[in-house]
Amino acid sequence: MEGIKRILKNINMRDFKYYIFFSILLIVTLIAFSTFRFTQARYESNIAVNVNPSLAFLIVDVTNQSGQIKLEGMVPRNEPYLFAFDVSNFSQTKHANVDLTYSIEIITTTNMPLEFKIFKGNDMEQNEIDADTTTTDENGVYYRHLVINDVSVMNYANDVTDTYTLWVSFPIEYKNNPDDYAGIIDLVDIKISAEQVV
């Protein structure tokens, strides 16, 4: 105890205050930097690999199915947004009993100046879109139709799942007009039409 008292008497109080002040400042800076890095990393991971929502279309018969993706909270950037969906000829309870082929139509609203591509499987070079047209309805609303006709035959003897990636780009040149697109949502309807192979 006497040793501690002696050490405390020999400490220069002015230097001690500086030491405490800079220690606290260093700790606060490290905490703030760590929090920023965590938040930034979480934001970047959310926007860099966006594969949700993942839709699954189970075509076990001649049928038409559809699903929807809401494109919201998008910002102009260099990296595309990616959305995955599957088309299968089986479910947990049923399997197709005939060979099937199918076409894919993607209908989007045109609220934002987006670019679209669709890739099949792991091939991220071959854009599968065969037709890209724009139509208007009776209310003057514009819709964009992207059609894929070139799909493989799903043999009924096998469990087949085709995976597609919808590639959506919000070009970086629109970053200078953030108020023009703030809060705007673009809707993407994916329609699968299955037919029996004859």
Same domain, 30 and 121: no
pLDDT of residue 183: 80
- What count of other Cβ atoms lies within 10 Å of the Cβ of residue 89? 26
Same domain, 124 and 65: yes
pLDDT of residue 46: 39
Same domain, 15 and 91: no
Count structural domains, the chain: 2
How would you write the pLDDT of the chain (198 residues) with one tens digit per residue?
Answer: 666 666 656 666 666 666 666 667 667 666 755 554 444 433 333 333 445 447 899 999 898 999 999 888 888 999 999 999 999 999 988 999 999 999 999 999 988 999 999 999 888 888 999 999 999 999 999 999 999 987 778 999 999 999 999 999 999 998 887 778 778 889 999 999 999 998
Same domain, 185 and 93: yes
Same domain, 40 and 66: no
Same domain, 142 and 177: yes
* Whole-number Å distance between alpha carbons of 95 and 59: 9
Buried-exposed string 157-175: b where 16+ CB fall within 10 A, e elsewhere: eeebebebbbbbbbeeebe
Q: What is the pTM of this model?
A: 0.69
Among 48, 67, 85, which residue terminates a domain? 48
Same domain, 89 and 178: yes
* Structure-token pair, residue 156: 């009924």
Q: Which domain covers residue 36, as residue numbers?
A: 2-48
Same domain, 73 and 41: no
The shares of helix, strand and coil residues in the chain, as percent rounded to the nearest 5, are: 25, 35, 35
pLDDT of residue 16: 63
Same domain, 69 and 101: yes
